Structure formats: C-alpha cells, structure tokens
Amino acid sequence: MDLQGSSVKYLVTKVKQDLLASSQVDVYGLVPPSPYDTAWLSMVSNPQHSDQPLFQGCLDWVLQHQNRGGFWGENIGHPTLECLTSTLACIVALITWNVGHDAIQKGLAFIHGNTERLLEEQNGSFPEWFAIVFPAMIELAETKGLHVYFSNGLVEQVFLERQEILQTRRWVSGCGQQQYYPALMLQYLEDGLIQSPSAIAYAFMKTGNKEFLVKHVVMEFFMYMTSCVRLLLPIPAVYPLDEDLVNILLINQIETLGLAEHFMEEIKSLLAQVYRSCISCKESKSMGKHAIPLQLYTHALSFRLLRLYGYRVSPRKFCRFLEDEDIVTYIEEYHELFLSAMYNVYRATDVTFTGENQLEDARAFSRRILEKETMKNCTNLVRPISLTNLQGQIKHELSIPWLARLDHLEHRRCIERKETLGPWTGNSLSYRLLACQSNAMLLQLAIENYTLRQSIFRNELKELERWSKILSQNNLLTNVDISYKIRWEPKGLTGHGKTIFNALKDFVDDISGKFFNKNGYDIKAYLQDLWCQTFASWLKEAEWSRNGHAPSTVEYLQVAATSIASHTILLPAAFLLYPPPEIDILKKRQPLTNSLMLLTRLLNEIRSYQKEQEEGKPNLVLLYMKENPNLGVEESIAIIQKTLDEKKKEFLELALISDEMPEACKQLHLHCLKAFQMFFNSTNAFDSPTESNF
C-alpha cells in the first residue's frame, strides 16, 4: 500500500504541475491540436509576399507532425475518420507550397489504403460533419491537380449524403465554389459567428483582407495564431475557446475519474471563475441554431457542478429553451445533434430542489429526447467512438438514477471507458478536452487511485467479515434485555445478549477513545444514547409483531424512522471525519439527519412489504392500505413513492446548500442515502443473497 500511496502522490503532484500549475488554467493547453485547422492556416498566403505562407510555423508543423502510418491526427492506436479529413487537408497544404513531396506520397498511400475500410466500418451511416468536410476536401484536392481514386461506391455515397444534408438544412443555396467551404462555414457566416480557424482561414483567402477583417473582427484571431506559431503552440479546432466550458470539462473529468479529493483547491478556484461568469452574464441574445447544442451543454453542466459544490444558482439559463417552440421543434427534429446537450440537461435535473418546476419540465423533455436514441437498433452499426460512448452513458443514466449509483463504482466505469466524454454535437471536431498525453496522465492517476482505494476497502472488508462471524446468528439483537440498554451495563446478561453487548461496548469505546485522543472531549454518552434509542425502536417493533398490533402510519413512522438505524450508522462515523462536527450540532438532530432517516425508511418500506407481510411485521405500504381500503398495493406504493421523491428534493437542498453542518458531514449523509437507494432502487437487494453482488 505504501508503494501505491507514493505513486498516487507523485502523479497528483505531476498533474498539478502540468495541468493546474497556474492560478488560471491555460485552456488552450488542454485541448488537442487540430491538424485540419493547422493545414488551412498554412494555406493562407502572405499579403505582402503571395509566394510565401502567412503562417510559416503552421506549414512547418504540418511537415513535422505526420504519423508513421502516413496520416495526420491524434495517434490513439488506430486511424479514424478525422484522420482522413486532416490528412487530405495537410496534403493540399503541402501541394499548395510545393513542399514535403515524400510526406505527400505517404499521405496518399494512407488515403488509398484506409479510406474504403474506414468508410465500410460506418455501415452507411456517416457523421454529419464528415459527410460535409470529406467531399469538400476531395474537391479541393482536385483543384490543386491531385486526383484521388476509389474503386467502390462508398465515396459516392458520402457525396450523396452531403448533398442531402445541405438541401435538407438549406445551408447552401447552390454548389460551385461553395462546396469546399470548411465544416459548416456557411452556417457560421449566416449567424455572424465564426469559431473555426479553418473557416476563418478560408474566408480570409476568398473575401480579401480589409472586407473580412472589418466584417468579422478577426484581427485578434490572427494575432493569437501568430503567437501560437511563434511559440510553437498547437492550433486548436475552435477559437476563441469558451474558457468556462473548458474549465467545467476539466472539473467534470476529474470528478468522473474519482480524483476530486486530490484537487479540491483547484476545483474550487475554477468553479469560482465559472460562478462569477454566470452571475455577471446577462441572458444570451438569440444565437444561430448551430450554437444551441453547445450553449445548452455548457449551461447545464455548469449548473450541475456549481450546485453540487454548494452554489446557489438558477436553472433559468438552460431551461428557457423550453419557452421557444421553434427551438423545441428543432431539437425534436434533429435530436442526434443535441444528445450531449440533452444528456447534461437530464443530469442537471438530478439536483432538483422543491418547487423547481422548470427543472421537472426539462427532465421530462430531455428524457424523451434521449429515449429516442436508446430505441435505435445500433447492434450492427459502427458509430464514432465519442458517440458510441455517449450512447452507452445515456442508457446507463436513464436506467439507474443518480442517487442509486455509488461513486466508487461510477469511477470504475469511467476508468474502463477510457475515452474522454466531451460534448458531441454532430458537427466537426467540436470541443475535445485534453490532448492524449494529458488525458493519459489523468487516467493513470485514476487507475492508481482506484487500486489504492480497493486495497483499503479489502482490509475493511476483512474486519467486517470478522465481526459478522461474531454476530452471525439471525435476530440476535432482539434477544437483548431492555435493562442493559437503559443502564448500559452487562449485569444479568448471558449467551447471545452478552456477546452482543460486549461487541457493541467495544465498538463505542473504540470510537469515543479515538475521538477523545484526537479532539479532547468525550462522546461516549452520546453514542450510548444513540444506540439506546435504536434498541428501543427495535423492541417496540418486535412488541407490535408479537401482539399483532397494527399502529397508525404516523405512529409507525415515528418509530420506524429510528429503527432503520441510518443515523446510528452515520453519526458515529461523522466523528471520525476531519474536521469533525461539533457534538452540539449532532445532539440537536439536524433536519438533514431527520430527512435521511425518513428517506431510508421509505425506501425500505416500498421494497420489503412482501417479506414483512409474510413475517407478520408492520410495513408502511400495508398500513396505508389498511387506512385506505379502497387502494391496492400499486396505488399505495405510488403515493408513498411520490412522497419519497418530494422528500428527496428537500434532502438534496439541505445536503448541498444548507450551512447547518460541515461540508464533509453533509457529504456523508448524501453517500449514506445513495447506499440505501442502491440497495432498494428496484428491488430489495439488501435482503437478497444475489442482488447485492456488484
């Protein structure tokens, strides 16, 4: 474990130095370079010397960054569709300046040797950006005298799909010279917004310096690109980058990999920047439809992360789209473009508080959009890696509620997936967070961190197994005499009762002793009282069962909220946190703790009524039916479930926003609820010998 711990510490330090060293993260250093955009910039001629490139450094980058396989693009072990378009663009750039003849031949060999295979893998379904860009690059290559030949009709199929897209979306009124505009450039021009270096480069070449610079105000862009070339920095696929988006993508990646505990200071600093941006920005003016998916994605993910970290934020920014019928219709018609956005809108609604009807509506709408994708039969369809991963996450998200997923298991899923899950909008390369090297570093740290946690959990499991052997007999606790609980004395106890008392006494003494040595005051009496209350509730329920007494639902819940013992599990553990909560805070039985006790009991009641009916024990579902004889089981469960759902919203607001408890203690309450929700989500996994095998 020492070696694992040292490795984790080393990698944490390295990530902080390499990715998070500065007070403000260099967002452009986090995104991978774009060979496609770099190639387009290298084609721009110098206005003063038309026989020379304006960005010589971009041309040099193209010459220096061809992979061994002859393609340009991220070397992730295998070429992708993106490599086809990037390689064609780089070949055209080299031909433009009559340099890199060997590189051109290697690139052509890659194109001829891999295009048909990569197209076949798509089974006739091509990403929209590819269907537009790939034909355009072939046409552009032909204008440079380079003819690319393919034997089968797959390339023709891409051309046909391009034409269908352009006609359907009405992005282009004709063909001719407009055919090889870079990815969706005309769409950007119509909206007066260009964030694509390749599109800016093309427009600059075609429209003339003065006209273009005045119309689109891209002088800052060219100054930045010039500095990139001078400093040998990579050219991104998007400029300017939305810094808030890149920051929240980085935070989200750290969170989903289970690394947040190591970077809390950095996360809080980045979120403070995002929050300042959120409260300082007025509602955005109407933007072109192409910008809506990324805008929704950004606002929804920002909201979720800010709320999870205790910020009071409004969902208005990403919910107001529901008020625009045109946008709603557009999303429903072209739902694949909005998968990432709707995925994050849906996730944002996980942290809905009481009375937030906007979020309820957004949840229903986003779920309906996402379910369209899950209904597709994609068994024999090879999709882009980022879209395939997203589809898997969507199914996971819809099938298992967030509160029913344990963080540690979710971290493992993310590690196993490996691929960074950035925003998918169906267009071009969009935002992909982290170059391969940076992402690999985070992934390596995540693996080491997960392994270390597992080793700790295994040791704890061995200790629990030792305890379970001592208390292995069924229903031992009901054999304990009430007298020892009230006096906390073993006098008169024998057999199982004495065994249980000694084990419980050792447990309380151990925790209170450790706490006293560390903090200087005694909590033993508090812990003893906690257990006395719990035993009293167990005995009251045993008494009801023996006497066949059916309490009212109100009377039952007063006892049952204690007998579920969630507070008995949680509060002693809270004293081992750092910093520990003040004992006076816990003695008052905070609303958050009361809420947890009620929720865990309601979860148990819904899933265990059949078992308790067979055993002759009281259960809320059965008692509710007794008080409302006109209702059946399903109707009673539905009413209790509705109450449960509303109480969860109250709980989340207390756990995330309230300042009545230290943050670590609030998080412990949240983790405890998630554990109960996992066990009682769709069945009674707690009492099942097989359901709890994860």
pLDDT of residue 183: 44
Are 216 and 247 in the same domain?
A: no
**89-119 pLDDT, tens digit each:** 999 999 999 999 999 999 999 999 999 888 8
pLDDT of residue 392: 85
DSSP assigned state of 686: T
Other C-beta atoms within 10 Å of 81: how many?
Answer: 21
pLDDT of residue 676: 95
Query: Residue 444 sits in a domain of what CATH number?
Result: 1.50.10.130
Asked, for residue 88, whether it belongs to a domain, the answer is: yes
CA distances from 438 to 30, 224, 259 (A): 8, 23, 14
**Segment 2-7 mean pLDDT:** 80
Closest CA to 393 of 596, 252, 587, 260: 252
pLDDT of residue 47: 80
Cis preceding-peptide flag for 35 (omega within 30 of 0): no
Asked, for residue 282, whether it belongs to a domain, the answer is: yes
**Segment 374-379 mean pLDDT:** 64
Asked, for residue 691, whether it belongs to a domain, the answer is: no
Query: Residue 56 sits in a domain of what CATH number?
Result: 1.50.10.160
Alpha carbon distance 15, 443 (integer Å): 11
Are 212 and 349 in the same domain?
A: no
Asked, for residue 26, whether it belongs to a domain, the answer is: no
Asked, for residue 3, whether it belongs to a domain, the answer is: no
**209-268 pLDDT, tens digit each:** 545 544 444 455 566 666 665 555 567 777 777 888 888 988 999 999 999 999 999 999
Are 614 and 478 in the same domain?
A: yes
Alpha carbon distance 1, 458 (integer Å): 12
Last residue of a domain, one of 230, 260, 277: 230
Lowest mean pLDDT segment, chosen from 228-237, 347-356, 579-588: 228-237
C-beta separation of 263 from 15 below 8 A: yes
Alpha carbon distance 329, 591 (integer Å): 43
Query: Residue 566 sits in a domain of what CATH number?
Result: 1.10.600.10
CA distances from 27 to 275, 314, 458 (A): 17, 26, 39
Are 39 and 157 in the same domain?
A: yes
Are 558 and 611 in the same domain?
A: yes
Alpha carbon distance 315, 245 (integer Å): 17
**Segment 350-360 mean pLDDT:** 97
Are 515 and 429 in the same domain?
A: no
Last residue of a domain, one of 451, 482, 516: 451
Are 213 and 257 in the same domain?
A: no
**600-623 pLDDT, tens digit each:** 999 999 999 998 888 888 999 999
Are 170 and 271 in the same domain?
A: no
State percent of the chain over pLDDT 70: 79
Lowest mean pLDDT segment, chosen from 13-22, 164-173, 510-519, 643-652: 164-173
pLDDT of residue 173: 36
Higher pLDDT: 587 or 31? It is 587
Alpha carbon distance 660, 590 (integer Å): 8
Is the CA virtual torsion 591, 593, 596, 602 positive or negative? negative
pLDDT of residue 209: 53
**182-210 pLDDT, tens digit each:** 444 445 444 444 677 887 788 777 766 54
Asked, for residue 489, whether it belongs to a domain, the answer is: yes
DSSP string of 52-104, one letter each residue:
SBS-HHHHHHHHH---TTS--S--SSS--HHHHHHHHHHHHHHHHTT--HHHH
Q: What is the mean pLDDT of the chain?
A: 83
Overall number of domains in the chain: 3
pLDDT of residue 688: 57
pLDDT of residue 203: 75
Last residue of a domain, one of 201, 230, 259: 230
Are 671 and 537 in the same domain?
A: yes
pLDDT of residue 481: 42
**450-508 pLDDT, tens digit each:** 999 999 999 988 888 876 776 554 444 444 444 444 456 667 677 777 777 888 888 89
Residue 637 belongs to what domain range? 472-679
Residue 513 has which token pair? Answer: 């002793």
Asked, for residue 71, whether it belongs to a domain, the answer is: yes
Are 487 and 445 in the same domain?
A: no
Alpha carbon distance 409, 414 (integer Å): 9
**274-329 pLDDT, tens digit each:** 999 988 866 555 556 777 888 899 999 999 999 999 999 999 999 999 999 999 99
Are 571 and 662 in the same domain?
A: yes
Asked, for residue 224, whether it belongs to a domain, the answer is: yes
Are 437 and 478 in the same domain?
A: no
